[in-house]
Chain A
């Protein structure tokens, strides 16, 4: 794996939460997104696998491994969220 190639896959993953359309396409037609992004066969396989270990082996940055997990597992949003605390915070501030 060349560093230029790792840069390519990292750039793709860094765009996922910047570009909602890209995120939607990754979820519905991932192979086309991999192809358009000119990923290597190893990188595409790692993204298909999706595990942290597979992503690490092709040079995906640790933070972007988290982005990718959030992207392909939208249900994680029910855990990685602050929404349970917002009403509590508002009540705490209101009551001084």
Chain B
């Protein structure tokens, strides 16, 4: 079977450091350390769990999950993100769709994805040489009523199960959850809830995510904003690696970025790193 060799989670945006240089520098340094953690495991394929910000998936899309099935990806390029090409992994992606379908979880394929910052910013750190193939796994938080924590958790379990079912044994897979933490998108009350973020990070470290999984989308949004639901991208990765222990790498409440910024690595059972 293939092997999950590394897992991590991180916020997926950067903005101008103007006015918050030191905090921005700490965020950048944290993202570099998350990237180093993934790169050190020498993955062949990176599954990046994130969400699209309506650059690819429109407001009328109703599917809960999408998977990039392309042979290659060129970022959309908003936010001055370089449009460097990454190799896709359609065989892995289509296999994941089939595996989940057999177990009652529908994933919709995306053939012509142009990853926005949700995928492309983390890739700059975890796959800078573009030597690993990339499988974008997108949660459709933008659909009406969002996607529940229970659905995300189940997908994570199936993702872990799928990797374990793969041959050949030498295939090295890394998982990266990207998004969050608290933020409010398109709202007149935009802001960060540091208490929410630190509670989530503490439970993420403990591997005690039951209450987060059971919260409704509305409950998360009420406290952490409509962007706060991106913590589910982290939970998918956590569900895929049961028994892993997370360590927070960085956290900064970044008011000028309107986002609580955080990152963590997951130490896998039996791992020495």
- B54 near A81 with CB under 8 A, answer no
Question: Shortest Cβ distance from B233 into chain A, in angstroms?
Answer: 15
- A88 near B15 with CB under 8 A, answer no
| Given A14-B58, A89-B124, A81-B188 contact (CB < 8 Å) | no
- A81 near B226 with CB under 8 A, answer no
When C-beta atoms are compared, the residue in chain A nearest to B59 turns out to be A10
Residues 56-96 of chain A, each 1 if its beta carbon lies under 8 Å from chain B, else 0:
10001111111101000000011111111110110011000
Q: Does A11 contact B (CB under 8 A)?
A: yes
Question: Shortest Cβ distance from B249 into chain A, in angstroms?
Answer: 15
| Given A10-B59, A61-B142, A93-B128, A82-B14 contact (CB < 8 Å) | yes
Q: Which single member of B18, B54, B117, B188 contacts A51 (CB below 8 Å)?
A: B188
Residues 75-100 of chain B, each 1 if its beta carbon lies under 8 Å from chain A, else 0:
01011111000000000000000000
Which A residues are in CB contact (< 8 Å) with B198?
none
Residues 110-154 of chain B, each 1 if its beta carbon lies under 8 Å from chain A, else 0:
000000010001001100100000000000001000000000000
Where chain B touches its partner, the secondary structure class is: loop
Question: Shortest Cβ distance from A12 into chain B, in angstroms?
Answer: 11
Q: Which single member of A7, A63, A82 contacts B186 (CB below 8 Å)?
A: A63
Q: Does B16 contact A (CB under 8 A)?
A: yes
Question: Shortest Cβ distance from A68 into chain B, in angstroms?
Answer: 9
Which B residues are in CB contact (< 8 Å) with A61?
54, 59, 142, 186
Q: Does B187 contact A (CB under 8 A)?
A: yes
Question: Shortest Cβ distance from B113 into chain A, in angstroms?
Answer: 13
The count of chain B contact residues (Cβ–Cβ below 8 Å) is 30
| Given A53-B188, A62-B226, A64-B54, A84-B17 contact (CB < 8 Å) | yes
Which A residues are in CB contact (< 8 Å) with B55?
17-18
Residues 1-20 of chain B, each 1 if its beta carbon lies under 8 Å from chain A, else 0:
00000000000001111100
Residues 219-258 of chain B, each 1 if its beta carbon lies under 8 Å from chain A, else 0:
0000000100000000000000000000000000000000
- B79 near A55 with CB under 8 A, answer no
| Residue among B54, B121, B125 with most chain A CB within 10 A | B54
Tell me the complex Cα distance, A56–B80, Å: 28
Q: Which single member of A18, A62, A78, A88 contacts B16 (CB below 8 Å)?
A: A78
Q: Does B106 contact A (CB under 8 A)?
A: no
Which A residues are in CB contact (< 8 Å) with B117?
82
Which B residues are in CB contact (< 8 Å) with A7?
59-60
Can you name 6 extra interface pairs (CB under 8 A) apart from A64-B59, A93-B128? A60-B186, A64-B186, A77-B80, A79-B18, A81-B80, A89-B125
State the A residues within 8 Å of B (CB): 7, 10-11, 14, 17-18, 51-53, 55-56, 60-67, 69, 77-86, 88-89, 92-93
